[in-house]
Chains A and B, each alone.
Chain A
């Protein structure tokens, strides 16, 4: 089949699917706001104002999301948190994608004993109490910002590897792979030039579904006080701070919590919608 035709069919379906357009639109809007919002606000995310603490959301002085317990503007902080949360989630998912695709494609393509050993290793890693190791990692490496991505990515690549392996095994039997083999293309080239591009659909769907998981793990780490460093913040950290103030300053909880929920919802719906497009049989796995 012509690749252009496939793409245009997929694009048409994406445009037809309401959940994809709506959720994708909301996410793009939130991402744009998170990046641009802090630029248009007169406030900085770290300036404290001890005479302007706990201001309710107001148009006055452009504190449209109010201020926190240190008088910092919550509009800017929420958007900053949104930026970091999205960044953490996307990079973490990217890490899991790279490791998972490479590992799964190699195991699936090579097959035989190597495949068996590689997949047993994945089974073994499944048994690691990962969340506990992540806590230990954060303790050992003093919450290096980069490490959060790596740690979360390292949790998620296992599923990706399994799915990619399955797909690779079925792709391996297709004629274009045989053709490539016949003309003497080396195995690594077949894996990365011929197999992986054909995995795109599955991978996109799966990555969209790992992003919300990564967001939740980050907020879990924030709850334990092991998340990003102040004065930087994430939605999880803001929500956690808001829980403490929920009775005297409900907006401190409400606004970031709603934003977090919307982001998670949209990624979940987006993943569902993409799955419908790429895999019309609507398989859960």
Chain B
């Protein structure tokens, strides 16, 4: 297990390098520069700015400078937020995004598994049909429709909850975004749980356990839950990706100062260093989370432990 984890960590190095090269080439290939504006700059001023940010150097030289900085943990100054370094910007945004993502994930997993298990236990009942119908609908409506509707009803019409992140300092400001972000994931996880739970409940060892007189709750808790969770666990990777994507939308709509919003703004403004910094950060995060999922999978499923 340890060897497996270490090997995976080792693989992260070429992966990250690939990400950096790819992203670096892409941001620099994008037409337009970070300092272009409708009010074009006189050539002397443009030259002064290019010099200050080393944009007058050749691309390989710029890349070497950048990579050198990254290895020392310095992601450079932001080209747009001229008072801030990229590390500062990302450092400010990470806690916000993490809080949002972690809460949405926790909500999705808890509610999704509970609903899925419940539906599996009462397979083909009206409750099951209703829940699965709702789940399908949840998957089929994009976040950017749900979130504005939430705001319209709960913030503008009813005025129960803040319409935006900075509209309040209480925890309630997180509720709408977290729910909007979690909703499609709840639906996916509920469907996955239901399917795998039905399969597990129909298997021989459960029948044996039932024959021995164990109650439903005990069967679920001691026997069925663990194997039924395998597909859900392997969905965690895609779920994390989906939550990252969704958070770009949710952060935009609720005005949440998270990483996704900085990324989109950075890409549109050609804030080269900010975009690169965020891509590197996300790549590292996804590698780490996938590794954790794989290790957990090894613990739950003894069959692949010795892969």
| Chain A interfacial positions (CB closer than 8 Å to B) | 120, 123-124, 126-133, 135-137, 139-140, 142, 212, 216, 219-220, 223-224, 236, 239-240, 243, 246-247, 253, 257, 260-262, 264-265, 268-269, 281-285
Report whether A240 and B26 are in contact in the complex, using a CB–CB cutoff of 8 Å: no
Closest residue of chain B to A136 (Cβ to Cβ) is B26
The 10 closest A-B pairs by CB, nearest first: A129-B282, A264-B140, A284-B231, A124-B15, A261-B140, A127-B287, A223-B144, A131-B245, A140-B30, A136-B26
Chain A residues with CB under 8 A of B27: 136
Count chain B CB atoms within 10 A of each CB in A126, A139, A262, A285 and give the residue with the most: A139
Chain A residues with CB under 8 A of B267: 135-136, 139
Count chain B CB atoms within 10 A of each CB in A131, A246, A247 and give the residue with the most: A131
Select which of A128, A223, A268 is within 8 A of B139 by beta carbon: A268
Chain B residues with CB under 8 A of A236: 142
B70 within 8 A of A: no
Select which of A246, A264, A284 is within 8 A of B195 by beta carbon: A284
| CB interface residues, B 1-17, toward A, < 8 Å | 8, 11-12, 14-15
Chain B residues with CB under 8 A of A219: 142, 144
Report whether B148 and A243 are in contact in the complex, using a CB–CB cutoff of 8 Å: yes
Chain B residues with CB under 8 A of A133: 22-23, 26, 279
Select which of B23, B30, B139, B241 is within 8 A of A131 by beta carbon: B241
Chain B residues with CB under 8 A of A140: 26, 29-31
Select which of A127, A131, A246, A268 is within 8 A of B244 by beta carbon: A131
Report whether A126 and B290 are in contact in the complex, using a CB–CB cutoff of 8 Å: yes
Closest residue of chain B to A125 (Cβ to Cβ) is B15
Report whether A139 and B279 are in contact in the complex, using a CB–CB cutoff of 8 Å: no
Report whether B141 and A136 are in contact in the complex, using a CB–CB cutoff of 8 Å: no
Select which of B142, B192, B231, B264 is within 8 A of A224 by beta carbon: B264
Select which of B14, B141, B263 is within 8 A of A132 by beta carbon: B263
Select which of A131, A137, A284 is within 8 A of B196 by beta carbon: A284
Q: What is the interface residue range for chain B against chain A?
A: 35 or more
Select which of A223, A240, A253, A285 is within 8 A of B234 by beta carbon: A285
CA–CA, A262 and B139, complex, Å? 11
Select which of B18, B141, B234, B264 is within 8 A of A257 by beta carbon: B141
CA–CA, A136 and B137, complex, Å? 31
User: What sequence of 0s and 1s flags, for each residue 129-159 of chain B, a beta carbon within 8 Å of any chain A beta carbon?
Assistant: 0000000110111101100110010000000
A216-B142, A243-B145 known; A135-B136 Cβ under 8 A:
no
9 residue pairs from A and B, CB less than 8 Å apart: A123-B8, A129-B282, A129-B286, A132-B263, A132-B278, A137-B26, A223-B249, A261-B141, A265-B139
Chain A residues with CB under 8 A of B30: 136, 139-140
A243-B144, A243-B148 known; A281-B23 Cβ under 8 A:
no
B237 within 8 A of A: yes
Report whether A124 and B140 are in contact in the complex, using a CB–CB cutoff of 8 Å: no
Nearest CB of A to B115, in Å: 16
Closest residue of chain A to B29 (Cβ to Cβ) is A140
CA–CA, A100 and B78, complex, Å? 38
Report whether B279 and A129 are in contact in the complex, using a CB–CB cutoff of 8 Å: yes
Nearest CB of A to B27, in Å: 7
A136-B23, A269-B136 known; A127-B15 Cβ under 8 A:
yes
A129-B244, A223-B144, A285-B234 known; A264-B139 Cβ under 8 A:
yes
Closest residue of chain A to B142 (Cβ to Cβ) is A219
A132-B263, A135-B264, A284-B196 known; A220-B142 Cβ under 8 A:
yes
Count chain A CB atoms within 10 A of each CB in B30, B137, B244, B278 and give the residue with the most: B30
CA–CA, A243 and B248, complex, Å? 17
B107 within 8 A of A: no
Report whether A127 and B290 are in contact in the complex, using a CB–CB cutoff of 8 Å: yes
Chain A residues with CB under 8 A of B15: 124, 127-128
| Known contacts A124-B11, A136-B279, A219-B144; 13 further A-B pairs (Cβ under 8 A) | A123-B8, A131-B248, A135-B263, A136-B23, A219-B142, A246-B148, A260-B142, A261-B140, A261-B141, A265-B136, A265-B137, A268-B140, A284-B231
Report whether B140 and A284 are in contact in the complex, using a CB–CB cutoff of 8 Å: no
| CB interface residues, B 224-268, toward A, < 8 Å | 231, 234, 237, 241, 244-245, 248-249, 263-264, 267-268
| CB interface residues, B 258-293, toward A, < 8 Å | 263-264, 267-268, 275, 278-279, 282-283, 286-287, 290
Closest residue of chain A to B235 (Cβ to Cβ) is A284
A124-B15, A136-B23, A136-B30 known; A129-B141 Cβ under 8 A:
no
Report whether B279 and A126 are in contact in the complex, using a CB–CB cutoff of 8 Å: no
Chain B residues with CB under 8 A of A220: 142, 144, 245, 248-249
Chain A residues with CB under 8 A of B290: 123, 126-127
